[in-house]
Chain A
């Protein structure tokens, strides 16, 4: 399984765009990149998933360069409610189990 590296914590202010970068140098051909969000005492929640280039949904954008060795989660105009831990995960969802291997994540604090 590809190891991921992301910042331990980030601070931002309401209304700003936040970009969280994740390194995954050993990503395999079949691996997808997935981001989850977790609030205290709640289960993780899927944000976005991609394989290459750019993916956008109503919540976030995911930028993946051509070599796929890193990815950037972009949260536009964050609010206080975006304060959470954000996890970057790399794995091959076609595996029969597709277990999610969580790292320590990035603790995002959004200030007023």
Chain B
């Protein structure tokens, strides 16, 4: 079983739709959580951190449920420019400092 699992998609939604992605992680010792965005043939970039209390950044809302080891990302009022792959990322701080990436969920926003 992979340490971080995501539905690969693709999610194909019309502009203006609300879409949600989920992610589960297997290591309960995981410290911190993030969503990264990766455009086609580009490098990943940090989208937002995920806090236990939930957090919002404009149209994006991230939630964390430590008990269920589950992270979510909600995108409201989808734009064409939101089309990308969204990577769920978990930080382990054991003997190292390691960010583990999920395989990503692909989002396609159509006109």
Chains A and B form a bound pair: no
